[in-house]
Structure 1
């Protein structure tokens, strides 16, 4: 296998890990006002992602860094063309991170409500924009002979991209609802299951339409297989969540995300950023770094990746048990800081 193909697959793997892990973080954030009725409920919901959300974001940093190092032309064209959308996304992620860290610093309802709004918005905006961005990457964008983007922001807001954005919002909402049901008890769990019952069918319709459009319009025939797997996994995950089998439901929604990413990257290869004029498209060949750079990157990845995966697996194992309302109350009834995870 050529190193350019290997790194295309590795970058797809990194985005898969990011969407599987950060996807439920976005879902929990978006659903915060839906699954909670009081401050204790909100602490329970946020406590499920408190120990892991910042680690999950590392996948995005590594995916971006790997793209920059392995395919610098892809990185340059993508970030210049999608500059405004990615700036909005970055601001949303920053506000969300600040909110998760600072909402519990002051014991004031108005203070917490403002940060809660930042959590909801900072989760919804990236969930929407990632779908819009990847849909445009699959569809192709206007590039000139120098691989510079020649469109506008409104060029990116086409029907296919907006359907992609709606799909990722519903996908992460379902994934987050199932994760909440898996990690909590009582009313928060019950409300999360209720959300899954609604989000699941909506996602099956929107996501099914988006994947069918992507495969039939832009993908090779074999991408029908992962697209079909994704559809089945979404149906199974929704049914399992409704029956209270949230462990298996979470594996199903995670599997659906994997299958969707495989479908999207499968429609791309060997392109990394198709152009509306195929002669100007960026491919794994004309967008890549030198063979020497890719070789060094490969050895670094082989050495470091197992350590990172082991650490993250250990984190999830340590914080594996369900949270209850009692966990969010400290000694003498004093509330535990939001985002903390009771041991």
Structure 2
């Protein structure tokens, strides 16, 4: 394999890790006001992701940095063409982080409710927008001969991309509900499990439709990976119904991996197809950095990636226990569990 192909694969792996880990973060945040009947419930929900949500976002930073270094033309065309959409994602991620930290700084129900709704919106918005963005990346956007985006913000709001947004929103929310069955207890856990069944059905409908259109357009392995994703989603609903929470979470994780594989496989060897003229498309060859740059990056990744993976695995192991209402201290308390 050429280094350009290796780095395309590594970027796909980074996005897969981000969607798997940040996916349940988005799901928990989106469901905060649905499952949280009172402030203690909502503090339990936030504490389930408190020790890990910021670490999960590192995958996005690394994916963006790797894209910038390995495929600078891809990076520049994305940020020029998707500027408004990516700005909305960035603002949502900032507000979500601020809300986690600020919601319990003042002992006021109105104050906490305001920040709770910000968490909901700032979690659902990226879950939706990432699907819209990748729908456009796979489908293609208008690029001219200089690889400049010639459309507008509304060009990105096409039916295929919007369906992709609904697919990721329902899939991540379902993933978050299943995650909560592993991290909560008693009535809160039961509500999460019951809601997971309905969310799973929605994820099958929207995700199946999105992957079906993708496979029709690109064929080949896209059909197989789409079928795998559909089977895993159906299995996760079945496991959630039979209270096999670990198997359900493993299935939603596998479904997200299969969906991401479908998108990147359908994209390759392009990194950003042009709907204006196929000759204007960005590919792994014409969008890449120099071979020397890619070689240095490969050595750095080989050394530091295992360290990062080991640290994050250790974090999840340390904070593996369930969060209960009894574990929440009286009063406002801290917004996240830090010990």
Aligned counterpart, 1:130: 130
What is the distance in 2 between the residues matched to 1:139 and 1:306? 34
What is the distance in 2 between the residues matched to 1:269 and 1:110? 49
Compute the RMSD of aligned alpha carbons: 0.9
Within the alignment, does 1:56 sit opposite 2:53 as a pair?
no
Unpaired segments ≥5 residues, structure 1? none
Within the alignment, does 1:191 sit opposite 2:191 as a pair?
yes
What is the distance in 1 between the residues matched to 2:132 and 2:285? 25
SS class of match (1:272): strand
Contact 2:25/2:53 (<8 A) preserved: yes
Within the alignment, does 1:298 sit opposite 2:313 as a pair?
no
Aligned counterpart, 1:140: 140
Task: Select which of 325, 336, 339 maps to 2:333.
Answer: 336
Deviations 1:310-330 (A, max 9, x none): 00000000000111100112x
SS class of match (1:289): coil
> Mapping of 1:208-223 within 5 angstroms?
208-217=208-217, 219-223=218-222
> Mapping of 1:143-162 within 5 angstroms?
143-162=143-162
Within the alignment, does 1:7 sit opposite 2:7 as a pair?
yes
Deviation for aligned residue 1:220: 3.6
Aligned counterpart, 1:69: 69
Deviation for aligned residue 1:338: 2.0
Contact 1:328/1:335 (<8 A) preserved: no
SS class of match (2:271): strand
> Mapping of 1:17-36 within 5 angstroms?
17-36=17-36
What is the distance in 2 between the residues matched to 1:303 and 1:236? 37
Contact 1:40/1:328 (<8 A) preserved: yes
Contact 1:34/1:191 (<8 A) preserved: no
Deviation for aligned residue 1:11: 0.1
Aligned counterpart, 1:257: 256
Contact 2:105/2:332 (<8 A) preserved: no
What is the distance in 1 between the residues matched to 2:177 and 2:221? 31
Aligned counterpart, 2:180: 180
Moved over 3 A (4+): 333-336
What is the distance in 2 between the residues matched to 1:202 and 1:88? 25
Contact 1:18/1:60 (<8 A) preserved: yes
Contact 1:14/1:60 (<8 A) preserved: yes
Deviation for aligned residue 1:335: 4.9
Within the alignment, does 1:42 sit opposite 2:42 as a pair?
yes
What is the distance in 1 between the residues matched to 2:331 and 2:122? 28
Aligned counterpart, 1:83: 83
What is the distance in 2 between the residues matched to 1:67 and 1:232? 31
In the superposition, the TM-score normalised over structure 2's length comes to 0.98
Contact 2:270/2:282 (<8 A) preserved: yes
Contact 2:184/2:324 (<8 A) preserved: yes
Deviation for aligned residue 1:60: 0.2
Aligned counterpart, 2:232: 233
Unpaired segments ≥5 residues, structure 2? none
What is the distance in 1 between the residues matched to 2:335 and 2:220? 48
Aligned counterpart, 1:105: 105
Deviations 1:33-86 (A, max 9, x none): 111100100011000000000000000000000000000000000110000111
Deviations 1:179-208 (A, max 9, x none): 011100012111111111111111111111
SS class of match (2:151): coil
Deviations 1:266-303 (A, max 9, x none): 00100000010211000000000000000000000000
What is the distance in 2 between the residues matched to 1:191 and 1:338? 22
Deviation for aligned residue 1:123: 0.3
* Distance change >3 Å, CA 334–CA 103, structure 1 → 2: closer
